[in-house]
Amino acid sequence: MYLKLENLQKTGAFKVRGAFFRIYSELDRCRRHGVVAASSGNHAQGVAYSASELGVRATIVMPETTPPYKVNATRSYGAEVVLHGSIYDEAYEKAIEIASSTGAVFVHPFDDPYVIAGQGTIGVEIATSIRDVDAVLVPVGGGGLISGIGIAVKRMLGGRVKVVAVEPRNSPKLYEALRCGRPVQVQVKPSIADGVVTKSVGELTYRIMSEVVDDVVLVDEDSIARAMFLLMERAKLVVEGAGALPVAALLEGYAAGAGKNIVAVISGGNADLTTIYRVILKGLSVDGRVAKLTLILDDVPGALYRVLEVLARYRCNILDIRHDRVGLEVPAGRALVEIVFEVPERQLLSTVKRELSQRATLIT
């Protein structure tokens, strides 16, 4: 398996490719009137950076709910940031209004032939680096990335190469579009892969994807988190949820029968620190290296000490502990204790639980 590391791009994601080429394609007009875009994420930074490099004035409309670090990152590339609305759709409408009133060139995040062509340079690089590719796994949001990659690899390597779209199960817009034969609005749920959570794919991208996409894989939230954790621990890569989708598909078993040479496009690495923290704890818990136990103890001196003595003997490091004797669910004369701790070896956890159950009532 090969990883195409777009998380190491300038601005931390593939978006800079399409943004740069879109601005470059009408550079004189862009320099005269500027560019405008709507985004709360990677597209904002891609447009801001590209405009700065090409000497173009950029205005980025971001929802008022955008985290400050994303706003600051966009401003750091020299763009003017306009905060408007509470969701992307409202920011998008404001960006269109600015473009109409000022003549600025609107840079669409995906449904634009030049943007698609810019993202397609990833496919060119894959095709020129690995001649015998069997499958390319690509995250799908609006569809610009996989449209460009699909055109490039199919043109350069032939139809034998499978182009596989990967979406979170919480936002199956391409899956439903292909099932219905047209772009449709889907009901989305929150996802750790927030960068690809959109209600619908684009009109142009749908037409292209209908021709170049061979398969669509839907992945669960736990698989996305596991993929992020695995990439951090094994490959030393910080990858956002959307960027980890192809690896999540492989973890769910997609590689079986897909061929020997599989390319997973790691589309971005702009994960916020709180998400990374939760993913790490989740991964350590799944691996049995961090455990959380809830016990009921007699509320007498020495009861908690006897529990901690077991953990110390097996070199378990306590991360957090909560002691409650007044909750309504706690029986009179007893205390509820929740302990989160590191386990030096996974196989020790069952031994620790067994010994603790001899000193307290083990709930979980």
- Decide if 175 contacts 216 (C-beta within 8 A): yes
- Decide if 292 contacts 308 (C-beta within 8 A): no
- Decide if 91 contacts 71 (C-beta within 8 A): no
Catalytic residue among 15, 70, 94, 282: 15
- Decide if 157 contacts 207 (C-beta within 8 A): no
- Of 13, 104, 94, the closest CA to residue 61 belongs to 94
Dihedral of CA 120/209/144/266: which sign?
negative
List, in sequence order, the alpha helices (H) in the chain.
Answer: 15-25, 27-33, 42-53, 68-76, 88-102, 113-129, 144-157, 173-180, 203-212, 221-235, 245-251, 273-286, 303-313, 348-357
Q: Is 189 a catalytic residue?
A: no
Catalytic residue among 147, 171, 200, 267: 267
Dist CA 239 CA 3 (whole Å): 12
Q: Is 267 a catalytic residue?
A: yes
| All residues at 6 or more sequence positions from 309 whose CB lies less than 8 Å from its CB, including other chains | none
Catalytic residues: 15, 267
